[in-house]
Amino acid sequence: MLKPLRNFLAAICESRAGRISLAVFCACALIALLGPLIAPYDPMARNYDAAGKLVRLAPPSAQHWLGTTTLGRDILSQMLWGARSAMIVGLVTSIGVVLIGVNIGLLSGFLGGRVDALLMRITDIFLGVPFLPFIIVILSITGRSTWTIIFAMTILMWRSSARVIRAQVLSLKEMPFVAAARISGASDLAILYREIAPNVMPIALLNVAIAMAWAIITEASIGFLGFGDPDALSWGTIIYQAYASQTMYRAPWWVIPPGVAIMVLVSSVYFIGRAYERVVNPRLATA
């Protein structure tokens, strides 16, 4: 497991875009980790000036670097707190998606026959489920929480990973090293996870990046639509609150920062995946 991770980091650092993207992602992760500690104000507290007047829709200033909301809440503090939701949702969802997708793809491609047919028909059913409406329905039934959002995204997003991994396993199981392992007396389980699984790790790690980007975008979309966790701040809910207040056009400092933050984080994840694509497809190294 450590070797694919080392190769992953080495492949990213080979290109300038990869190094920059990795640095941006690490900075976002650090902000998500330390955000609540370095936030200048309580993100939900109302702020007042020296005269006791609510600092409502104040533009960026020395006291409030990104301005305030209609309720006098500091936007910079909300942004720092919201980074944690984006990172948690992105990381946990992507890991869950790849774990499910890789294992289903491995079993389906390796065992073949009825198992393959059953698993692929289940995958086809999930591919036919509309993504965002399904998540909204789940949230409406079970309640809006960050972990419900993660669960709803995870049980749908694995479908593409399973298809890709299965296709790779179908070719790998015919390779000579698999036949040699079988002749040496290795069990099917050992062949699957010791011989074949390490060879699909590059594709699995690439799918981590893709799934993370999609998860961050989806979480922001859910927040913007008003279905986000009411007890957690996220960049999507910040934009939703600005839109719901009907003042977003008069207070661009309320809308632009979370939008830019989403774009920067998702772009860094995509560029990391693009740099790593050269491991999965070496022909891209000369492109």
Helices (H), the chain: 2-13, 16-38, 75-111, 113-127, 131-142, 146-172, 176-183, 188-190, 197-224, 235-244, 252-280
Report domain extents, the chain.
14-33+68-279
- What's the confidence (pLDDT) of residue 279? 65
pLDDT tens for 31-83 read: 999 998 999 999 999 999 888 899 999 999 999 999 999 999 999 999 999 99
Contact indicator for 72, 54 with CB cutoff of 8 Å: yes
Report pTM.
Answer: 0.90
Contact indicator for 39, 51 with CB cutoff of 8 Å: no
CATH architecture of the domain 14-33+68-279 equals Orthogonal Bundle (1.10)
Residue 30 one-letter amino acid = L
pLDDT tens for 174-218 read: 899 999 999 998 898 999 999 999 889 888 888 999 999 999 999
